[in-house]
Structures are given as structure tokens and as C-alpha cells.
Amino acid sequence: MKVPVIKGVIDRRILVNFTVAPGAIQNILPAPFRPKLYKGHAIAGICLIRLKHIRPKGLPGFVGISSENGAHRIAVTWEEQGITREGVYIPRRDTNSRFNAFAGGRFFPGKHYHARFDVRESGVDYHVAFNSEDETFISMDGSLADQLNEDSVFENLAAASDFFEAGSAGFSPGGGGLDGLQLQVKEWKVEPLAVTAVRSSFFENREIFPEGSVRFDNALLMREIAHEWRSMRAPC
């Protein structure tokens, strides 16, 4: 799906990340994707993102729209013309915007499900949750921290930041296959969150993830990031 360049601001973006057994993830990936591994683990998670001033590039900010959104993400690699590429496969997108839910997969890449969001944040403490119309849910509570949690598979914040920055190409189910979007940010900067509670209907589904195959790993925060989205061709 070809769309104009979309411009806006990432007001708040939380990446809630899990380590997963590679075999469990491979079962839900379409060809040609395979899980991108870090220290033998597949990495998946949920992006909880509030967008502001979203509009086609060239239009003034005041005409843009804002929304709360959630995206389930899986870090992937694939081969293309003999080169190993990397990005994320996004099996599901949720939004509080009726417009996004209607337009997603029709006029904008990726099918979107409508959901009710519950957001409470102080700039230090964050609670973000949503419940969709088909009972998919996520709930996360956390606070800003000085460093990445010690039990993370990533040795430090810089390693985690580099891993997720490389996943700027995202592909999700659309109206006729996979829709692709390339995220471009003016400045990539993440902060660690210390998570006190997290629930996810997706990662708690034992039909997809057998007992012991998935574990919460870390959470990262991004704030006030100017960005653009550009449509891109999905791999064959």
C-alpha cells in the first residue's frame, strides 16, 4: 500500500519487551520472516505509543490528529537479494481512534482494532493499558529508572537501544497481504523503565506460547520524538 509521507510527533512511546523461545515465535511468523535472535532468544513485545499532529508531510501541525495506539511486535530478519534485512513483524495493531480503525488496512497500512485505553502518567510514573473489542488486553505499570533492570538479557541500555533502533521497518497484515512502513526519527533516544506489573493476553496465551517459553525482559521509554513514516514494499 503506497501512502504519502506521514509526519508527526511521538509524544510517548513505551516498548514492553519479552524474550521468547525461537520455535514458539517462528510458528506465528509468515514467510519469509524468521526471528531475530539476541543471545539465543527471540525478542517480541508491545509498543504503547501516543501520537500527535499526525498528517501528510507538507501540511501544518494543527490539521493533524492524535491517538493512543498499541502494536504487538516481533523482531525479525529475512533475506532479500542475497542481503540479510531486519525489522519487525506486527501481527496486530490497536487504537483508540475510530478513524484509524476504519482507515487501517484500507487507506493506511495495517489493519487496526478499536480499543479503550486507560492512561495515567506523571512524567515519572506510567500506567498504560487497553482493552479491545475482541478482549485483547495489555496493562503495564512502571517508573523511570537510572539503568536497565539487571535481569534483562541485554547487558546495558545501549545494547537494548541499538537492538530496537535497527527495527525501524515494520510489516503488518493489511487488506491484501503485508503492508510496510519505515519509521524515521530525527533523534533516537530511549530511557529505561522499571516495571512493577505487566499483563498481556497475547503473551499469556498458552496455545501460542507454552509454559516457560516467554518471559518479560525490559521496558523502554521514548518522549517527544519528531518522526516520519514512509511506505515501503513488503518482502516477497
Q: Can you give the residue ranges of every domain in the chain?
A: 6-232
CA 82 to chain centre: 27
Whole-number Å distance between alpha carbons of 100 and 231: 16
pLDDT number for residue 62: 78
> And the C-alpha cell for 178?
503485508
Report the distance separating Cα 13 and Cα 223, nearest Å: 6
Locate all alpha helices (DSSP H) within 35-76, ordered by sequence.
none
* Pairing outcome for strands 214-232 and 191-200: antiparallel
pLDDT for the residue numbered 191 = 98
Short-list 157, 209, 211, CA closest to 44: 209
Amino acid at 222: M
Residue 114 sits at φ, ψ, to 5 deg, of -80, 140
At the top level of CATH, the class of 6-232 is mainly beta
CA-nearest of 98, 93, 9 to 47 is: 93
pLDDT value for 102:
65
Beta partners for residue 182, in sequence order:
169, 230
Note down pLDDT in tens along the chain; length 236 residues.
Answer: 567 888 999 999 999 999 999 999 999 999 999 999 999 999 999 999 999 998 888 888 877 889 999 999 999 999 998 899 999 999 999 999 887 766 665 656 667 889 999 999 999 999 999 999 898 999 999 999 999 999 999 999 999 999 999 999 999 887 677 888 899 998 999 999 999 999 999 999 999 999 999 999 999 999 999 999 888 888 87
| pTM, to two decimals | 0.92
